């Protein structure tokens, strides 16, 4: 499964495309797409240039957690620096 | 210190105003990210994993108290209360919002700071010896030449779109603290046999995926010809450097594929054409810049300090800090103080807003208002009276900045790695933290002596791993972090590129590996040998054996 992620344009924080087509900071609330559909969704997301700096696809498992080759990188993006647990989304949890 | 003239002030103000307009157009959607990216990069603004990152220039690593205080304020006002000193004597903020960056840059411009030449394929911010103007061993202060290079290179129309980024480092001391041999151009100011001072010009050094120690293409360049000669080098590179392959675009590839001799010939031929065309600064202009760096007025003091001796005898920790973190000053009764940004278990180079403000206050009171940033991610107070050393130590200790470990095993260079950087393949900081914790005992560290560990989270080598006595490179193996160890590198006057020790190690194994390497050294060292000396004498074998025995 895939999800769409990017960095929000005005402040750069990590966001994911949600089921309601709005950006969310919560990966578990992100919309999940079959690999075949994901490309079109990404292309549409990339057109939203006023909202995000860039957008790309990540692999997620059935529970919405990062998966595949970039698991560590996307886990760090989703949570925050592993050396500063007081920063990033992990600090709010 | 250099002070802006009206041209500098206008240039920086206009650049901020221009960028403010560009940010507005990006936010309104008038510019796409593809259009905006090169513009933001020209202003030091990157996009990293969690947020934007702004890299602020500290030309040749020199800062005033006022500037340091402002860096602290900026960290609090626009970021999350800290900054990160880099291996290029710059500071990075990890969390600024795009919408705030123009205001942030205005705040920096107020204290003669900016983010120009901290990114993009231009001549980057010039770096130098952090002890410049303070050390007894230098020929003269190298910073006037750095400033000349800065003025010549900033917005140089011909060199704003080079094949790739371009880094120049300058030193004027026999002991190289600026890693000049692993820069695109390294300059060593020295006195020749005739008693004239001039530059040895070294070209084509660099780290990254293709590491090289630079080649000397001119043994002696009279000082007055510095800019025309640099211009000749840049012209040859700009014309001949590869633009078809980003990984082969640095000048080191050109120099090493053509051969240094052939490259030098091309430079000399170009130089012959432009040498007398008015690129070099007139004598009066050189004198004007020199005047900014006139040495501060040092008090006439005895080199012995009774206060210092008494404190040294009564406070063992202070005595150790004195041994490891201070360095001989050229003026009697003064010392150079190193501030370690490597507390045991800390993040190399990180400093809080409160600590920055404390350093600013201490420098104002005790170091003639001057601070330096080092390429090893530490700070320096260049001019401290020996009588004041204990007070400085106590003030630093009060804000957790008195770790006595300069040049020791825990004084580790580490890039931000996968904790922050979008290019990284593996984390660097946690490895540095665990090595530092393993060797937490400062007495043990002092016994081990000088040992430079440098860690990069990817092959771009921002953590200088190739020139670590022990280098550690993070790689990604099918989604798992692995670390490749290199041995015997040096970024100093005895520069060399480290050799790969063997297969990669897991993050658990790599800390043990460092301990094993240190074990071999302690067992086999002779006399006052450093780790690097023992390694060079014995060769790699005993170290490799220890690393991979029964593993």
CATH class (in words) of the domain with range B413-548: alpha beta
The answer to whether B409 and B439 have CB atoms below 8 angstroms apart is: yes
Look up residue B169 and give its DSSP letter.
Answer: E
Q: Which residue of B has its CA nearest to A69?
A: B479
Question: Which chain B residues are Cβ-neighbours of A49 within 8 angstroms?
Answer: 29, 32-33
Q: Is B478 on the interface with A (CB under 8 A)?
A: yes
Distance between CA atoms of B457 and B422, rounded to whole angstroms?
Answer: 10
Report CB contact under 8 Å: B51, A73. no
Contacts by residues A38-45 (CB-CB < 8 Å, ≥ 24 positions apart): A38/A2, A38/A4, A41/A4, A41/A17, A42/A4, A45/A4, A45/A6, A45/A17
CA distances from B383 to B13, B136, B175, B388 (A): 32, 12, 19, 10
The token pair that represents B152 in the structure block: 């010549």
CATH 3.30.413.10 domain extents, chain B: 142-292, 413-548
Residues of chain B with CATH 3.90.480.20: 6-109, 306-398
Angle among Cα B126, B131, B137 to the nearest 5 degrees reads: 115
Residue pLDDT, tens place only, B70-123: 999 999 999 999 999 999 999 999 999 999 999 999 999 999 999 999 999 999
| Residue B166 and residue B415 in contact, taking contact as beta carbons nearer than 8 Å | no
Interchain pair B33, A7: CB under 8 A: no
Q: Taking the alpha carbons of B158, B280, B217, B191 in that order, is the dihedral positive or negative?
A: negative
- Closest-CA residue of A relative to B433 is A83
CA distance B526 to A70: 47
Closest CA to B435 of B324, B378, B489, B516: B516
Between CA A73 and CA A5 the distance in angstroms is 13
| pLDDT tens-digit readout, B492-512 | 999 999 999 999 999 999 999
CATH class of B142-292: alpha beta
- Best interface-test mutation with B: which of A5, A9, A10, A12 has the largest number of B CBs within 10 A? A12
H/E segment holding residue A78: helix A71-79
Helices then strands (H, E): number in chain B? 18, 21
- Cβ of residue A81 closer than 8 Å to a chain B Cβ: yes
Distance CA B197, CA B171 (A): 13
Q: Sign of torsion, CA B481 B490 B548 B429? A: negative
Q: Please answer whether residues B125 and B63 qualify as being in contact, where contact means their C-beta atoms are separated by less than 8 angstroms.
A: no
- The per-residue pLDDT for range B69-82, each reduced to its tens digit, is 999 999 999 999 99
Instruction: For chain A, give the longest Cα–Cα distance.
Output: 38
Q: What's the whole-number average pLDDT of chain B? A: 97
The predicted-structure confidence for A43-78, as pLDDT tens digits, reads as follows 999 999 999 998 999 999 999 999 999 999 999 999
> Between vectors from CA B528 to CA B527 and to CA B532, what angle results, nearest 5°?
115
B257-272 pLDDT, tens digit per residue, is: 999 999 999 999 999 9
pLDDT at B550: 61
Q: Are residues B42 and B36 in contact, defined by beta-carbon separation less than 8 angstroms?
A: no
Which chain A residues contact residue B33 at CB under 8 A? 49, 53-54
Classify B6-109 by CATH class.
alpha beta
DSSP codes of every residue in B426-453: S-SHHHHHHHHHHT--HHHHHHH----E
Exposed/middle/buried for residue B503 (C-beta within 10 Å: 0-12, 13-18, 19+): exposed
- Surface of A (34-73) touching B: CB under 8 A: 49-50, 53-54, 68-73
Structure tokens at B112: 């003669």
Query: Taking the CB of residue B160, how many other CB atoms lie within 10 A of it?
Result: 14
Q: Which residues of A are less than 8 Å from B347 in CB distance?
A: 83-84
Identify whether the C-beta of residue A24 lies closer than 8 Å to the C-beta of residue A15: yes
B359-363, long-range: CB within 8 Å, 24+ apart, which pairs?
Answer: B359/B68, B359/B401, B360/B65, B360/B66, B360/B68, B360/B69, B360/B72, B361/B65, B361/B69, B361/B395, B362/B392, B362/B395, B362/B396, B363/B64, B363/B65, B363/B68
CB-nearest partner of A53 from B33, B419, B429: B33
Of B33, B347, B433, which has the smallest distance from its Cβ to A54's Cβ? B33
As a whole-number percent, the residues of chain B with pLDDT over 90 amount to 98
Across residues B273-277, what is the average pLDDT? 95
Q: Which of B50, B78, B167, B75 is nearest to B118 (CA)?
A: B167
Question: pLDDT by residue (tens digit) across B130-174?
Answer: 999 999 999 999 999 999 999 999 999 999 999 999 999 999 999
Say which of A12, A53, A73 has its CB closest to residue B418.
A73
Q: What residues does B455 pair with on adjacent strands?
A: B414, B472
* B383 touches B329 (CB < 8 A): yes
* Inter-chain CB pairs, A–B, below 8 Å: 75
Q: How far apart are the first and last CA of chain A?
A: 25
The reported pLDDT for the residue numbered B479 is 87
Nearest residue on chain B to A55, alpha-carbon basis: B33
Alpha-carbon span B548 to B551, nearest angstrom: 5
Domain B306-398 has CATH 1.10.3720.10: no
Q: Which of B307, B298, B365, B363 is nearest to B334 (CA)?
A: B298
Q: Find the length of chain B.
A: 551
Set of chain B residues whose Cβ sits within 8 Å of the Cβ of A80: 50
Please name the member of B51, B347, B476 whose beta carbon is closest to the beta carbon of A13. B51
CB contact under 8 Å between B51 and A69, yes or no, is: no
pLDDT surpassing 60 at residue B35: yes
Helix residue spans in B53-114 (DSSP H): 65-78, 101-109
């Amino acid at each position: 499964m895939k999800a769409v992620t990017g960095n929000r344009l005005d402040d750069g924080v990590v966001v994911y495309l949600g089921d309601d087509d709005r950006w969310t900071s919560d990966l578990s609330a992100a919309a999940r797409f079959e690999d075949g559909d994901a490309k079109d969704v990404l292309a549409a997301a990339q057109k939203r240039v006023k909202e995000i700096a860039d957008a790309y696809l990540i692999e997620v498992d059935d529970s919405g957690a990062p998966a595949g080759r970039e698991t560590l990188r996307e886990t760090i993006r989703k949570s925050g620096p592993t050396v500063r647990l007081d920063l990033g989304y992990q600090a709010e949890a | 210190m250099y002070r802006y003239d009206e041209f500098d002030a206008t240039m920086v103000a206009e650049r901020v105003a221009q960028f403010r307009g560009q940010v507005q157009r990006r936010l309104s959607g008038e510019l796409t990210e593809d259009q905006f990216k090169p513009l933001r990069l020209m202003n030091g603004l990157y996009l990293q994993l969690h947020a934007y990152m702004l890299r602020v220039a500290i030309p040749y690593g020199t800062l005033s108290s006022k500037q340091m205080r402002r860096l602290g304020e900026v960290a609090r006002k626009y970021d999350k209360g800290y900054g990160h000193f880099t291996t290029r004597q710059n500071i990075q903020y990890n969390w600024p919002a795009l919408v705030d960056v123009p205001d942030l840059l205005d705040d920096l411009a107020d204290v003669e700071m900016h983010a120009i030449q901290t990114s993009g394929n231009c001549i980057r911010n010039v770096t130098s010896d952090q002890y410049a103007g303070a050390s007894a061993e230098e020929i003269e202060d190298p910073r006037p030449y750095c400033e000349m290079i800065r003025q010549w290179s900033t917005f140089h129309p011909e060199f704003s779109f080079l094949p790739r980024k371009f880094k120049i480092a300058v030193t004027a001391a026999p002991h190289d603290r600026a890693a000049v041999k692993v820069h695109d151009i390294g300059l060593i100011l020295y006195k020749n046999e005739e008693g004239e001072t001039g530059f040895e010009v070294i070209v084509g050094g660099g780290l990254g995926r293709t590491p090289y120690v630079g080649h000397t293409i001119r043994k002696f360049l009279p000082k007055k010809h510095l800019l025309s000669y640099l211009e000749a080098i840049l012209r040859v590179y700009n014309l001949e450097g590869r633009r078809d392959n980003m990984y082969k675009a640095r000048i080191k590839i050109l120099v090493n594929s053509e051969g240094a001799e052939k490259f030098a010939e091309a430079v000399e031929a170009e130089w012959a054409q432009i040498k007398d065309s008015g690129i070099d600064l007139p004598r009066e202009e050189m004198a004007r810049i020199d005047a900014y760096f006139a040495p501060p007025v040092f008090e006439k003091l005895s080199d012995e300090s009774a206060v210092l001796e008494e404190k040294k005898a009564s406070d063992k920790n202070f005595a150790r800090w004195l041994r490891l973190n201070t360095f001989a000053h050229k003026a009697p009764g003064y010392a150079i103080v190193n501030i370690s940004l490597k507390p045991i278990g800390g993040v190399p180079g990180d400093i809080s807003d409160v600590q920055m403000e404390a350093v600013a206050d201490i420098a104002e009171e005790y170091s003639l208002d001057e601070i330096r940033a080092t390429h090893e991610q530490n700070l320096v107070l260049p001019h401290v009276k020996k009588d004041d050393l204990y007070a400085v130590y106590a003030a630093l200790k009060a804000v957790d900045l008195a770790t006595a470990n300069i040049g020791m095993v825990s004084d580790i260079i580490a890039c931000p790695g996968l904790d922050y950087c979008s290019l990284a393949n593996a984390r660097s900081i946690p490895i540095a933290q665990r090595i530092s914790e393993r060797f937490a005992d400062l007495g043990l560290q002092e016994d081990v002596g000088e040992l430079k560990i440098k860690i990069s989270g990817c092959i771009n080598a921002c953590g200088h791993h190739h020139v670590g006595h022990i280098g550690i490179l993070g790689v990604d193996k099918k989604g798992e972090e692995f670390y490749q160890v290199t041995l015997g590198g040096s970024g100093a006057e005895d520069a060399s590129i480290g050799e790969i020790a063997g297969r990669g190690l897991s993050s658990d194994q790599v800390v043990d590996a460092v301990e094993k390497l240190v074990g071999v050294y302690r067992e086999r060292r002779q006399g006052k040998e450093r780790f690097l000396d023992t390694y060079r004498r014995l060769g790699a074998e005993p170290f490799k054996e220890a690393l991979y025995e029964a593993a």
